[in-house]
Chains A and B, each alone.
Chain A
Amino acid sequence: MKNWRYLLYIVIFIWLLTLPLYTGVYLLNVLDIILIYLALALSWDMLLRSGQISFGMAGLFGVGGYAAVLTHLNAGLNPLISIVMGGLVAGVLAWLIGMAVLQLRGMYFAIVTLALAEIFRVIVRNLPDLTGGPEGTVLPSAIFAGNSTKTYWLVLTVAVISVIASEIFRRTRIHFALTSIRNDEIVAKSSGIDVFKYLVFIFAITSAIQGITGGAYAHIYGFVSPEGSFSVDFTLLPIAMALLGGMHSTWGPVVGAVVLGVVSEFLKLQIPYGHLLVYGVIIVITILFFPEGIVGTLGQKFKGNR
């Protein structure tokens, strides 16, 4: 039974890998977007498993994008290495921030992350010599000269890395540590879990993933700007996806990202302005009626039938 499951994963992976051979450029572009949001949704959910909710995703996404673009332009790094640099910068930054603010819990942590995202945006906008100021910075050319197949493989790699990271965290002692912190912090502490250390660690790792995603996004589209790279979309959409799919799991955010990504492609054509309305409605309805999400609700049904 278990081996069948792994076989299924490998088949899906190979199918995704060979997709560019028989599909068009449009579908690949749609998939790029879906996979980028998938990585963000997963990284958000990974932090959520410890009970901490972050509204600062757009901030670290933007920092990663700027770090990737600036190291590429100023230090002449290879685009791929500069994307890794973006993740590194975001991770180290999050580690430092985490040391300072992860004493906070609940809404205070959420608000502080939201404020930090705003702070990053203001700083970037007010340093025109380094970052290009409000207009942002444009790269001379997109990564791989805009080759959609290679771009797709790059994004797929980022998404697969985040899925693997999430699965590793699901199967090791980190998972138990984070879950017990979420359920009851005092119990976790008294059973010998270093709560603070684990929280800083998971915050840094998820931020690094967000930074890498931001770096990849910046290189694919070839520009960064304060309003574009720090857009609230990069906070809102992944949260809606993770919620809809189901929190605290790997496959919840994946399912949510695929469903919402496909739906939003249709909606963009139907309602050009305000298709984000649907995301807001989805968040509200999901919280009110099925807080377990698609995967959680279906999983319970299957278990109940057995």
Chain B
Amino acid sequence: MPSRFSSVVPWGRAHARAQAVMMNLVSKLKQSNYQIAVVTAVLVVILAFWKPHVLVEGLQRACLYAVIALPMALILGIVGIINLAHGDYMMLGAYFAYWLNVYTGMDPLVAILPALAAFFLIGIASYRAIIKYVLGAPELNQLLLTFGLAMVLEQLANLIWTSRPMKQPLKYVSSSANIGSFTFGTYEFVYVAAAMVVLVGLLLFLKRTDTGQAALAVGQNPRGAKLVGIDVDRTYLLIFSLSIALIGAIGAIFMTRHSIFPLVGAPFTMKSFCLIAMAGIGNLTGILWCSLILGLAENFVLSFRGYSGWADILFFALIVLVIVVRSRQRQVK
């Protein structure tokens, strides 16, 4: 009966349109990106009323994770190797900014610029000396090589600077603001800013510039890119060095707030890979959403007294879960 009227009666058309909108929404919800966004939004609203601390600190922590994971995702997506020494380059960047501050008094946030330049060169050197030779090698060799590289960097730092944690006192990092009776640190929003700048910058670079387009093409199909005249080796070199430069600069931001020691970067390598695996290789925006979920969830667990030790497990449990579930999905298809 309703079907006969639906085309005639105005509310029937509105109903149909609403239905179409709903269908559209439902089909969008089936995409993992939108699912992740919706889950995040619901979590955020609940948290804002219940535990505002968790929300603000979780946001800051999430953006720190995201900004560290982004350069790694760039390397993995385009050069195609998983860099297990990723966090250790960040550690080097932190030490770079630290010693620049000690000797010249340069502010670590200003040291971002020299760090970018220095780590671009370090990236070129690493690529030319080591990475280049395993590009065509089996995955096993790549993993072991970057694993060995991570050990070299960590132990070198340990040898030169010892394992004593170092920290430079900076006045502005402990600034805070109030909303009603709720006090929170404002300096940590620098991570949020950094994450936004890096993400938007990378997206613009990849989508709007010729070099970025060439890099994307190389990431999709190196042989095809070579056929249309793209210098694949130079693109690899550029992307690798660019990522190392970014992570070095992030190290400079990182050392303003955290004390640094040789093993400070290692956990971030794992966490970055976890985020990339969750978002899917090549999905830069997805990394931000995934890190929001993880950052909020981690701070949520941390906020319970006596159970904070379990927060570390969240990341690793999630990475195992996500990878296993994804592999099952792929098999079903």
Using known A-B contacts A277-B156, A279-B151, A287-B141, determine if residue A122 contacts B312 with beta carbons closer than 8 Å.
yes
Further contacts, 20 of them, CB under 8 A, given A111-B319, A284-B148: A48-B140, A100-B324, A103-B331, A107-B139, A108-B277, A111-B277, A112-B324, A114-B270, A118-B270, A118-B313, A118-B316, A122-B310, A122-B312, A122-B316, A236-B151, A277-B156, A280-B151, A280-B153, A283-B148, A288-B133
CA distance in complex: A283, B134 (Å): 13
A271 contacts partner chain B, Cβ-Cβ < 8 Å: yes
CA distance in complex: A78, B31 (Å): 56
Contacts of A236 in B (CB 8 A): 147, 151
The distance from the CB of B297 to the nearest CB of chain A, in whole angstroms, is 15
CB of A273 within 8 A of CB of B331, answer no
Using known A-B contacts A103-B327, A239-B144, A273-B162, determine if residue A126 contacts B309 with beta carbons closer than 8 Å.
yes
* A–B pairs, 30, beta carbons within 8 Å: A51-B140, A53-B140, A53-B143, A104-B327, A106-B139, A108-B327, A111-B273, A111-B277, A112-B323, A112-B324, A115-B316, A116-B320, A118-B270, A119-B316, A122-B313, A122-B316, A126-B309, A126-B313, A243-B144, A273-B162, A274-B155, A276-B154, A276-B155, A277-B152, A279-B148, A283-B144, A283-B145, A284-B148, A284-B149, A291-B137
Contacts of B148 in A (CB 8 A): 240, 279-284, 287
Contacts of A271 in B (CB 8 A): 159
CA distance in complex: A123, B310 (Å): 8
Closest to A134 in B: B309
Contacts of A288 in B (CB 8 A): 130, 133-134, 145
CB of A103 within 8 A of CB of B324, answer yes
Contacts of B324 in A (CB 8 A): 100-101, 103-104, 112
A170 contacts partner chain B, Cβ-Cβ < 8 Å: no
The interface of chain A, by Cβ under 8 A from chain B, is: 48, 51, 53, 55, 100-101, 103-104, 106-108, 110-112, 114-116, 118-119, 122-123, 125-126, 236, 239-240, 243, 271, 273-274, 276-277, 279-284, 287-288, 291
B208 contacts partner chain A, Cβ-Cβ < 8 Å: no
Per a CB cutoff under 8 Å, which of A48, A118, A243, A291 touches B312?
A118
Residue in B154, B320, B327, B328 with the greatest tally of chain A CB atoms within 10 Å: B320
CB of A283 within 8 A of CB of B331, answer no
CB of B309 within 8 A of CB of A125, answer yes
Residue in B151, B155, B274 with the greatest tally of chain A CB atoms within 10 Å: B151
Using known A-B contacts A115-B316, A280-B150, determine if residue A291 contacts B155 with beta carbons closer than 8 Å.
no
Per a CB cutoff under 8 Å, which of B143, B155, B274 touches A277?
B155
Contacts of A100 in B (CB 8 A): 324
CA distance in complex: A134, B291 (Å): 28
CA distance in complex: A282, B155 (Å): 13
CA distance in complex: A101, B326 (Å): 11
Contacts of B312 in A (CB 8 A): 118, 122
CA distance in complex: A284, B148 (Å): 6
Using known A-B contacts A126-B309, A277-B152, A288-B133, determine if residue A116 contacts B141 with beta carbons closer than 8 Å.
no
Closest to A100 in B: B324
Contacts of A114 in B (CB 8 A): 270
B82 contacts partner chain A, Cβ-Cβ < 8 Å: yes
The majority secondary structure among interface residues of chain B is helix
Using known A-B contacts A111-B319, A115-B319, A273-B159, determine if residue A284 contacts B313 with beta carbons closer than 8 Å.
no
CB of A276 within 8 A of CB of B328, answer no
Contacts of B159 in A (CB 8 A): 271, 273-274, 277
Residue in B145, B162, B331 with the greatest tally of chain A CB atoms within 10 Å: B145
Q: Tally of A-B residue pairs with Cβ under 8 A?
A: 121
Which range contains the number of B residues in contact with the other chain? 35 or more
Q: Which 7 A-B pairs have the closest CB atoms?
A: A283-B148, A280-B151, A274-B159, A277-B155, A280-B152, A115-B316, A284-B148
Closest to B267 in A: A118
B42 contacts partner chain A, Cβ-Cβ < 8 Å: no
CA distance in complex: A280, B145 (Å): 9
Residue in B130, B144, B310, B328 with the greatest tally of chain A CB atoms within 10 Å: B144
CB of B277 within 8 A of CB of A123, answer no
CA distance in complex: A273, B130 (Å): 25
Contacts of B162 in A (CB 8 A): 273
Contacts of A119 in B (CB 8 A): 313, 316-317, 320
Closest to A283 in B: B148
Closest to B310 in A: A126
CB of B134 within 8 A of CB of A287, answer yes
CB of B270 within 8 A of CB of A280, answer no
Contacts of B82 in A (CB 8 A): 107
Contacts of A273 in B (CB 8 A): 158-159, 162-163
Closest to B312 in A: A122
CA distance in complex: A125, B308 (Å): 12
Contacts of B319 in A (CB 8 A): 111-112, 115
Residue in B155, B270, B312 with the greatest tally of chain A CB atoms within 10 Å: B155
CA distance in complex: A123, B312 (Å): 10
The distance from the CB of B165 to the nearest CB of chain A, in whole angstroms, is 15
The distance from the CB of B135 to the nearest CB of chain A, in whole angstroms, is 12
Encode B294-327 as 1/0 by CB contact (under 8 A) with A.
0000000000000001101100110110011001
Closest to A282 in B: B148
The distance from the CB of B96 to the nearest CB of chain A, in whole angstroms, is 19
Residue in B148, B152, B155 with the greatest tally of chain A CB atoms within 10 Å: B148
CA distance in complex: A8, B125 (Å): 48
The distance from the CB of A53 to the nearest CB of chain B, in whole angstroms, is 5
CA distance in complex: A108, B276 (Å): 12
CA distance in complex: A291, B82 (Å): 19
